[in-house]
Amino acid sequence: MTTTMGPGAELEIRDKLQKAAPAGRATMKERLGPIGVFVGFIGLWYLISAWAIEAVFNKPKFLVPPPHEVIQDSFFGTAKIRNEMFKGVLLSAEVAFLGLLIAIVIGMALAVLMSRARWIEKSLFPYAVALQAVPILAFVPLIGSFLGFNFTARVFVCIVISLFPIIANTLFGLLSAEAGQHDLFTLHGAGKLKRLLKLQLPAALPSIFTGFRISAGLSVIGAVVGDFFFRQGEAGIGRLIDVYRARNDNPQMYGAVILAALLGIVVFWLFGQLSRVAVGRWHEVTGQS
């Protein structure tokens, strides 16, 4: 028996097939894209180290060692250099995570406070903007004068540099709950605390975790910057970069920079995974991130 489909059914099947095919190609592009960019980056690095550093920039070749030399000297060379680097990056990770955790607590508390009343937001938010606008290097002498040039000062730098995105994104999320939902809570006689816990915070989760991811990268930057200036105590990865630069140990310097970059990538990725766990895919933006 022959079944005849109407034109509407045929169009529906054709649309489904056309949508399914690009999805497979998009998945392949998503996999090959980062690999292609990485290969291109390594190729450009080799090009600069072998030719462009002298021919274009008129600089000596030793300033840009090739990637294999960086990997060999930094991670497969002497155990002393390797252990020194990994110890430094672990210390910087400790500073960055502690500073970020404190910034999350302070930032969310301030955002919740500012969401309670418009006059509180207008009173506090300009100072949060000013904290973000002033270059962190301008705070370094003040931080050192009050806290000393030690571990505590490094953590404080991370707090200062990573605080604003948490405040701004959390406040935006808390104030973005739909007016109709607020009316529904008012209709049921919900108090401020219940409204915050049941409506505003769940609705703000995508924005909150966006702030966390931004601040995670900034916190790593703060840990590295703090190492450059606060030179008491154990050496973090930032101070090691400066030490290798002063000694003209360029392969080790590049290796330390790679470790610092990997630390930032890992922290950013970690908060991305936490975002997926906490928010899931119910929000269209987080579902695509």
Tell me, yes or no, whether 158 and 260 share the same domain: yes
Tell me, yes or no, whether 150 and 177 share the same domain: yes
* Alpha-carbon 115 to chain mean position: 25
Q: Which of 28-37, 217-226, 244-253 has the lowest mean pLDDT?
A: 28-37
| Cα distances (Å, whole numbers) of residue 143 to 1, 137, 160, 177 | 85, 10, 10, 38
Of 147, 151, 143, 155, the closest CA to residue 234 belongs to 151
What local confidence, expressed as pLDDT, does residue 15 receive? 53
Tell me, yes or no, whether 282 and 197 share the same domain: yes
Q: Which of 64, 87, 115 is the last residue of a domain?
A: 64
Cα separation of 43 and 35, whole Å? 12
Q: Which residues of 71-98 are buried (b: 16+ CB within 10 A; e: fewer)?
A: bebbeeeeeebbebbeebbebbbbbbbb
Q: How confident is the model at residue 287 (pLDDT cuts 50, 70, 90)?
A: very low
Task: Give the chain's domain count.
Answer: 2
Q: How confident is the model at residue 79 (pLDDT cuts 50, 70, 90)?
A: confident
Tell me, yes or no, whether 79 and 39 share the same domain: no
Tell me, yes or no, whether 93 and 55 share the same domain: no
Cα separation of 244 and 251, whole Å? 9
Tell me, yes or no, whether 43 and 95 share the same domain: no
What local confidence, expressed as pLDDT, does residue 31 receive? 79
Residue 10 has pLDDT above 60, yes or no: no
Contacts of 271 (CB under 8 A, 6+ apart): 209, 212, 213, 216
Tell me, yes or no, whether 19 and 145 share the same domain: no
Tell me, yes or no, whether 87 and 34 share the same domain: no
Tell me, yes or no, whether 132 and 84 share the same domain: yes
Give pLDDT tens digits for 154-210: 899 999 999 999 999 999 988 887 777 766 777 777 777 878 877 888 888 889 999
What local confidence, expressed as pLDDT, does residue 285 receive? 45
For the record, the structure tokens of 73 come out as: 């000297």
What local confidence, expressed as pLDDT, does residue 208 receive? 92
Q: Which of 64, 95, 119 is the last residue of a domain?
A: 64
Question: For residues 170 and 107, is the Cβ–Cβ distance under 8 A?
Answer: yes
Look over the chain and give the mean of its residue pLDDT values, rounded to a whole number.
82
Q: Which of 64, 82, 115 is the last residue of a domain?
A: 64
Q: What is the CATH number of the domain that holds 102?
A: 1.10.3720.10
Residue 144 has pLDDT above 60, yes or no: yes
Determine the 3-state secondary structure of 61 from DSSP. helix
For the record, the structure tokens of 122 come out as: 């207008």
Cα separation of 130 and 88, whole Å? 32
Share of the chain above pLDDT 90, in %: 36
Q: How confident is the model at residue 227 (pLDDT cuts 50, 70, 90)?
A: confident
Tell me, yes or no, whether 6 and 106 share the same domain: no
Q: Regarding predicted confidence, which is higher, 103 or 237? A: 103
Residue 3 has pLDDT above 70, yes or no: no
Tell me, yes or no, whether 255 and 165 share the same domain: yes
Residue 11 has pLDDT above 50, yes or no: no
Tell me, yes or no, whether 13 and 82 share the same domain: no
What local confidence, expressed as pLDDT, does residue 283 receive? 53
Query: Where in the sequence is the domain holding 219, given as residue range(s)?
Result: 65-288
